[in-house]
Structure 1
Amino acid sequence: MLETAAALISPPLPGTWPRFESPLRLGVMASGNGSNLEAIARSIQRDELHAEIRVVIYNNPGAGVAERAARLGLPAVLLNHRHYPSREALDSDIVHRLQAHGVDWVIMAGWMRCVTTVLIDAFAGQILNIHPSLLPSFPGLRAVEQALAAGVRVAGCTVHQVELAVDSGPVIMQAAVSVEPTDTAATLQARIQVQEHRIYPAAIALAAELT
């Protein structure tokens, strides 16, 4: 039975996370505030996740993630999707930037654009995403609102490998969050986000260990 707010599903304790021969080279893609970027960066600083963030790519001018990246001392590149003739053209530029920074793992942290085979094929099996639901339930936009509308008693978040279909791909890790009778989309989203910050760094380590 779930305890009050949340239950974490099988995350390894930080002291047991794998140490790789060399740090994982991450490229983070984000469209908004970038709180998951900061959670990953702080985990690296605490020497929990054996990785380094080589570059942050964002697509919305003025997005909060740019300020977070600057505060964390991380290079950030704006690739405004509105300036590209197609999704493939945007993804081609993303691939070029990621490869130029020596990235081997692509971490989507609130990237609000559908990706194409251009990106997926370039980093096959090494692209991760986090989604605010217990997939396969409630894929796509407004997942928290979907959960509340469905009247579920448990919501949560999922880290998964990225495939072409939206919010598909093998699940790496999930965290469950109980839905309270008084919850709004905002209050439930806030509790889910706490769990996102807990599991995403651990899921990156686990995915790399399994690859």
Structure 2
Amino acid sequence: LKRLIQCQSATSSVDHHLSPYFSSRESIRLSYSFFYQKLTHGTELRGRVVETEAYLGGEDKASHSAGGKHMERNTTMFRKPGTIYIYHIYGIYLCMNVSSQGEGAAVLLRSLEPLSGQDIMRGLRAAKHKVGAKILKEKELCNDPSKLCQTLDIQRSFDRRHLRLLALVSVPWIRVESHGEWATKPLHFYLRGHPCVSVLNRDAERQMHSSTDLHNIEMERTV
């Protein structure tokens, strides 16, 4: 079973309904939970997150929000957890972050392992380089925060967009009340909000945000 995070392009409708799951993940735990998760850009480009950094907000001297500093550039860091924070470095490159629990806290996505669409990725990277530049090895396509943004065609306009999470619900089996303690074990799983699920457990859905990690994450938009 997968959970899906979606980020749509400026030419399509944007879902502004933010999952509460991000609000229960402080920056270090959220940074850790992104590992080996999948990012999908449109239907062609796919990559697995292999490197992240956690920035803890006011107490973190390396953070843009160090000391509680709140200005136009970093205002996204103070928005609801799960908001995309895009900023420039060196005036030309972009970096992608996701805000997390904690005042001004966020997670930087540093690098991906390309999984599919590598030729398109190379084309997007080549558009930023001089004619005749060397052909990039697969491991060189997304091994840097700015390369990640180039490879997935992440734009500055993505800033302040929200990530929507369809979460995995874990509840007791259905109709096995006669099996003693096993009847209460959370071994029945389904995607919250999916129309094809046979039986929903609304109580579990309301309570689950405090204990669920992020797994099998995918991001989508049309190139």
TM-score (norm 1): 0.33
TM-score by length of 2: 0.31
Larger RCO (CA within 8 A; separation ≥ 6): 2
